[in-house]
Structure 1
Amino acid sequence: MVTLTGHSLNFTEMKQVLFEGEKVKAAKESIEDVKKSREAVESIVENQEIIYGITTGFGKFSDVLIQKGDVEVLQKNLIHSHACGVGEAFPETVSRAMLVLRANALLKGYSGVRPLIIDRLLELVNKQIHPVIPQQGSLGASGDLAPLSHLALVLLGEGEVFYKEEKVPAIHALTQEKIKPITLTAKEGLALINGTQAMTAMGIISYLEAENLAYQSEIIAATTIEGLCGIMDAFDEEIHMARGYQEQVEVAERIRKYLKDSQLTTKQGELRVQDAYSLRCIPQVHGATWQTLHYVKEKLKIEMNAATDNPLIFNNGEKVISGGNFHGQPIALAMDFMGIAMAELANISERRIERLVNPQLNDLPPFLSPEPGLQSGAMIMQYVAASLVSENKTLTHPASVDSIPSSANQEDHVSMGTIASRHTAKVIENASRVLAIEAICSMQAAEYRGKNKMAPMTRAFLEAGRTIVPFIESDRMFYKDIEAMYRWIKKIPITSVGMENETVHS
């Protein structure tokens, strides 16, 4: 059971909740803070104080005063009017993450909701009722208004949910689990939808996939080095220590570990003096991606425990301040940065694929074909990789540099962070398939060289991979192999490639 406090949620706990079915509960001391904040909201309504979002309209309507008897209608209208997302739904895992993150933010005690709201959010998590939330429609400032409104609809017994592997009306799932719909009162609708939880949820899941892929890319690259009889001198520790980037040093160290005792690698001058950059510069390029991932992880750790509501209530209601914590710029930049970094892993991987299949660049069978000419071998696999990296180049145009004014120019600068997070998720998916293609080609090349000459760790990787994609003895429908390898490398535990001490830490 993961206990949410509003301040201490970490990646390890998110992994447990999202991928291992761990349940969640609210910390008692945090609920006490929530109650005090709620008392402040009720006092504001009772005394008819003029406070944004509690006794006024929203956005450009912030100057419109709302009568005491209309606060419930105001909140319901807010959710209904803002639930206008379009496009395909976020994956269930993202929806689940949004529930957890929204509950955690409310538990900070700055938002003025009743504990009932948090209880309901956590009940949806624990009973695996996941709101159907369209991916498109958020500007990433005023928070993820449209996506979070679709989440809030479910608390009202409206909208749709994923429940027991089906998409059903929310009221059906709530009825099955004996959960009563609630009526939102003052501030609660606004508190549910002012936040960055869509972009952050997508960002967390993308980060976890990116981190795993970055590790897998190194064992795959090491296998490619063997397939091309690569030069190990470029991975000498002193070279990387001389530059000073710790991530670069660590990548080189892992490559040396993977290739220890290999009989397929060479020394400079033995076959050639230098390798191409796609082999020689693996530590520099992959290390730079790791630098980016560390930056992204730091920002996500902050955001998953951040108060992103507006207004925020401090000192038991003595101070209620309208600000802009809902603005997604920190996550927008981080998501764009991560997309660029992961696209580079794919770019250098595709160049290694080319070196594996191009007979002008190696002494292997052309296109790794068992019968060159009669059979095409891996020729079109390289085409596919080239197509994917080209697509990534368009997806990594930064979303965060764009802004379109909204709400009659009241909200005149927005982050587009949710677009950035969605694009980055697609970049990571594309990069995973490029690396799957490299894995197929590198195993084929290494096996041509002689499986018995491989390093123990890369040979273990190859033998495990051969249970997924067999040796290419003749042309076949390779799309099945690519998809099988893609799914496999996404699921390989980090510990299976020798990273026992480098799993995700909070």
Structure 2
Amino acid sequence: MSSQIVDAAGAVSSGHTGPVVLDGIGLRVEDVVRLADGRARPVLRADAMKRVAESWDAARQIAATGRVYGRSTGVGANRNEDVPTEAAAEHGLRLLRSHAGAIGEELPAREVRALLAVRANQLLAGGAGLRPTMVTALCEALESGAYPVVNEFGSVGTGDIAALAQVGLALAGEHPWREAGSSGAGGASGEPRGVAGAPEPQHLDNNDALAFISSNALTLGQAALALHELRGLLEATQVVGALSVLAVDGAQEAYAAPVHTARPHRGSVEVARRMRELLGAADRPTPPLGRLQDPYGFRCLPQIHGPAHDAADALEEVVAIEINAAAENPLITPEDMAAYHHGGFYQAQLALALDHFRLALTQVARLSTSRLSTLNEPVYTRLRPFLADHEPASSGVMILEYAAGAALGELRAFSAPASLGHAVLSRGVEEQASFASLAARQTLRACGAYRLVVGCELVAAVRALRQREFRPDPDLPVGRALELALSVLNEDQADRPLTDDVTAAAALLDRFTDIWRRGG
């Protein structure tokens, strides 16, 4: 199989639709997700491949005439040990074999494919000094769906060296692959040609090993997947919040333009504007005649959702830089024929941005549980406690508060700052660690718990609106959201298990994201 290469203008001549052009410059988070999910095929740009070739040629010349970390020397605390010329050919494979010690569960296919996509694009940025066929091999795997076995643990945020060493050995023909659609269980072949779609084994030497594994591609791929899902869920949460506002006759003046012009934080201003758009409210809505000041779950929604949007934007900026960066150590620069040794692989920005994002999302989820409690309160809904039916002492949706609280507890645990971690490794030479890898895993794991919290609120909000027989204008975004929810969620309000209701509501949130993005 031969990966398609396009010219600098990006022209694609095949009949495939929706390709992602890899050029080392413009890869986006959504592109990583599409490649990870197999919804797009990678296309290599010719000028980027030229950068790879130039870097490869320069690296071999530099390593042949001077000391270059990991090519003519050992790594870590072995950095001062030279590799004899006669041992150079085997040095690369020995390095990969010794470092391919990731442990724990096998990662799902989409996480490994995200790794492959990120690493291919980083290599196209130039600077790695890696043979060009490694890039095309990565893209062949992305196109076929085959993926190497990669285990979960092995990184502390200073390079995903264990995971990438496993991928490197798979490319060399010494580590197992899985076929597209595999569950990841059971005996994968150790021979790439025994798995459909795996690229032909690559010949690797001392100039390839460290050049390939000097990256945080797994962490970045996982961060991209988590950010994409959670940003969508954050948007959907605002639609659910708007339904809850209607369910309790909430005041809309909390979203008034003058309020947010007076305190112009970007995220809060945008959330308030979206709330007015979702609800069909004026920029200066008339204050209600009844209750004065709703609970925080309604009144402070822009002030709590806004920072989460800002945190998502900040995280996306960091991820976009990193997935298009030549952060290799050493960095090979053909222009001056130099190998620069540095710490550009250290992921402080990413770890801090991921921690910030999870903390902000936990605030949003906590606000959702606050609205859920309000929906159970007759003072605000003018309905029976817990939105129960008319049978004596019915419990209605009472249990959802407990279920949402339990999911919120899980989310809160995942939100502990990973960047507080510390490690001293390799005989004290590497005496700091960002733990961005842990932050990425925690952010991915937060997706399910967050989704369930908001699903509980949606079930209660729709039940309240059903009981009130309230239907907003179907031309409004909130009206479209309610019609969609009514068509999916069970209308039976008798006491019964609500597990399936919450599962359906949680799945529905992805379609609410579309409503949020289309707006009015």
Equivalent position amino acid for 1:25 in 2: V
The alignment-based identity, stated in percent, is: 26
- Is 1:53 aligned to 2:76, yes or no? no
Q: Work out the number of aligned pairs and report it.
A: 495
Q: Please tell me whether the aligned partners of residues 236 and 512 of structure 2 are also in contact (alpha carbons under 8 angstroms).
A: no
Deviation (angstroms), 1:493: 6.5
- Is 1:419 aligned to 2:475, yes or no? no
Identify unmatched segments of 5+ residues in structure 1.
none
Q: Please tell me whether the aligned partners of residues 279 and 477 of structure 2 are also in contact (alpha carbons under 8 angstroms).
A: yes
* Aligned counterparts, 1:438-457, within 5 A: 438-453=457-472, 456-457=476-477
Equivalent position amino acid for 1:187 in 2: N
| TM-score where L is the length of structure 2 | 0.90
How many Å separate the matches in 2 of 1:177 and 1:402? 39
Equivalent position amino acid for 2:424 in 1: P
Deviation (angstroms), 1:358: 3.4
Q: Which residue matches 2:40? A: 22
Equivalent position amino acid for 2:248 in 1: L
How many Å separate the matches in 1 of 2:100 and 2:217? 15
**Deviations for 1:326-377, whole angstroms, at most 9, x for unmatched residues?**
1111111111111111111111001111111234654222111224655422
**Deviations for 1:52-95, whole angstroms, at most 9, x for unmatched residues?**
11100110011111112322322212222222222223332221
* Aligned counterparts, 1:422-437, within 5 A: 422-437=441-456
Q: Which residue matches 1:76? A: 93
Q: Which residue matches 1:107? A: 124
**Deviations for 1:208-229, whole angstroms, at most 9, x for unmatched residues?**
1121111101110000001111
Q: What CA RMSD, in Å, does the superposition of the two structures yield over aligned residues? A: 2.2
How many Å separate the matches in 1 of 2:195 and 2:458? 48
- Is 1:270 aligned to 2:289, yes or no? yes
Q: Which residue of 133, 136, 155 corresponds with 1:119?
A: 136
Q: Please tell me whether the aligned partners of residues 343 and 427 of structure 1 are also in contact (alpha carbons under 8 angstroms).
A: no
Equivalent position amino acid for 1:245 in 2: H
Q: Which residue matches 1:151? A: 167
Q: Which residue matches 1:133? A: 150
Deviation (angstroms), 1:247: 1.9
Equivalent position amino acid for 1:36 in 2: E
Q: Which residue of 399, 403, 417 corresponds with 1:398?
A: 417
* Aligned counterparts, 1:70-219, within 5 A: 70-141=87-158, 143-166=159-182, 167=184, 168-169=188-189, 171=191, 175-177=195-197, 179-219=199-239
How many Å separate the matches in 1 of 2:516 and 2:56? 50
Instruction: Indicate how the Cα distance of structure 1 residues 252 and 430 shifts in structure 2: closer, same or farther if over 3 A, else same.
Output: same
Q: Please tell me whether the aligned partners of residues 34 and 109 of structure 1 are also in contact (alpha carbons under 8 angstroms).
A: yes
Moved more, 191-200 or 25-34: 25-34
Equivalent position amino acid for 2:370 in 1: R
- Is 1:409 aligned to 2:428, yes or no? yes
Deviation (angstroms), 1:290: 0.9
Q: Please tell me whether the aligned partners of residues 134 and 147 of structure 1 are also in contact (alpha carbons under 8 angstroms).
A: yes
Q: Which residue matches 1:313? A: 332
- Is 1:334 aligned to 2:353, yes or no? yes
**Deviations for 1:94-127, whole angstroms, at most 9, x for unmatched residues?**
2111101111111122111111111111111111
How many Å separate the matches in 1 of 2:26 and 2:519? 23
Equivalent position amino acid for 2:104 in 1: G
Q: Which residue of 294, 301, 307 corresponds with 1:282?
A: 301
Moved more, 437-446 or 387-396: 387-396
| TM-score where L is the length of structure 1 | 0.92
Q: Which residue matches 1:43? A: 61
Equivalent position amino acid for 1:435 in 2: V
Q: Which residue matches 1:459? A: 479
Q: Which residue matches 1:477? A: 497
How many Å separate the matches in 2 of 1:36 and 1:439? 55
Instruction: Indicate how the Cα distance of structure 1 residues 478 and 300 shifts in structure 2: closer, same or farther if over 3 A, else same.
Output: same
Instruction: Indicate how the Cα distance of structure 1 residues 501 and 357 shifts in structure 2: closer, same or farther if over 3 A, else same.
Output: closer
